[in-house]
A = this chain, B = another copy of it.
Amino acid sequence: MLSEGRKKNRVTLLDVARHAGVSRATASLVIRKSPLVSTETRAKVEMAMQDLGYVYNMGAARLRADRSLTIGVVIPNLINPFFTELLAGIETVIDAAGMVVILVNSGDVLARQETLLTRMREHGVDGVILCPAAGTDMSLVERMAEWDLPLVQVLRRVSDECDYAGVDYGFGMHQAVDHLTELGHRDIAFAVHGPVHSAYQERVDAFRDAMELRGLDPGNIIRVPNQLAAIAQSAHLFTAGPGRSSSVVCFNDVVALGLSAGLYDLGVEIGRDFSLVGFDDVADAEALRPRLTSVATFPVAIGEGAATLLVDRLAQPDLAPRKLVKAPQLHIRQSSARWRGTNGGLSKNAG
């Protein structure tokens, strides 16, 4: 019924051509803005399109021309605000290029990612922006190359033979650690969570590096749960026991938000008794009080960068692989403060 209806009143290029008194081929040229048609013919055809309410049929065009003006975006997580901002950046650029985003969520599960990439191929996307699920290996990139499916890796990198847009986490981490040490902190913890991937490893390595460079012990790396509420409940890991410290660098702002809440619950005054440095500086971080010191990683810009890489590659498939590594920037606010001595801070308020 539906398809009958659709078929019936669908206006095709042939209808337009007839109405304008030209051939299908000419009408097609007009649509594609070819310079080969005369101005008057063009006008006639455009008028006919108006009159009949013609709608271009990508599906048909794609079949013949083998391009769909569609790109696939595979993201491991839709709820994390970081990815949302990333997505917003991607969408802006892709839209401006006259293309459209097919969005899927891998949930950071390899098997699912595999399924979804097949689905993308079936849908004939012109290219893919992928934030690889943890555990993805290089062979994926090779396979995509065999399939002639242009790929941009974003945030996480599994191969150098392929475009990549991401963040210089090492640099960001050094800024964070330097900042805390300059404030006099020596017991600095690193609160991590989530699946292990290149961007994870990069941050951990850089933390070790930065700490050792300052002659500090980088051993205090603590895993927290993934859910916001559960993170809050593990704040005690940092204020007492073997993980006790005077400050924490957070893997991302989700961790920072959680710990901020958890520390509040413990009666610890952030920015006085304890210092907290976030990572990403997402929009929501602005609502935190005391204001969160955070390493801004500019997710929107990264998204725009990734999309631009892809658009460029579609235009010139033979380009050498490029990297777009954005330098993060530490935003110092209220949640990090000068170290107040062994007896100054925590002991007073904790518990």
Residues of A within 8 A of B (CB): 1-3, 5-7, 9, 55-60, 62-63, 65-70, 78-79, 81, 84-85, 87-88, 91-92, 95, 100-105, 118-119, 121-124, 147-148, 150, 228-229, 232, 257-258, 260-261, 264-265, 283-284, 286-289, 314, 317-318
Contacts and interface: CB of A to CB of B under 8 A. Distances in A.
B57 A124 contact: yes
A260 B287 contact: yes
A102 B70 CA distance: 9
B289 A265 contact: yes
A62 B232 CA distance: 49
B78 A284 contact: no
A81 B284 contact: yes
Contacts of A66: 3, 6-7
A105 B122 contact: no
A152 to B, nearest CB: 15
Contacts of A288: 261, 287
B78 A88 contact: yes
Contact of A102 (B56, B62, B100, B121): B100
A210 to B, nearest CB: 27
Given A100-B104, A148-B2, A317-B2, A232 B287 contact: yes
A122 B55 contact: yes
Contact of A84 (B6, B84, B124, B261): B84
B121 A286 contact: no
Given A78-B91, A100-B119, A100-B123, A287 B57 contact: no
A88 B105 contact: yes
A310 to B, nearest CB: 13
Contact of A3 (B1, B67, B105, B229): B67
A304 to B, nearest CB: 13
A84 B288 CA distance: 20
From A95, A101, A103, residue with most partner B Cβ within 10 Å: A103
Given A79-B84, A101-B104, 7 more contacts: A3-B67, A6-B148, A57-B63, A57-B122, A59-B63, A91-B103, A264-B289
Nearest to A8: B148
Contacts of A286: 228-229, 232, 261
A62 B57 CA distance: 11
Given A101-B102, A124-B58, A79 B283 contact: yes
Contacts of A121: 55
A290 to B, nearest CB: 8
Contacts of A228: 283-284, 286-287
Q: Which 9 A-B pairs have the closest CB atoms?
A: A257-B287, A264-B289, A78-B88, A2-B317, A103-B103, A59-B62, A56-B122, A228-B286, A59-B124
A15 to B, nearest CB: 16
Contact of A289 (B62, B81, B261): B261
B91 A105 contact: yes
A317 B101 contact: no
A334 to B, nearest CB: 10
A65 B70 CA distance: 20
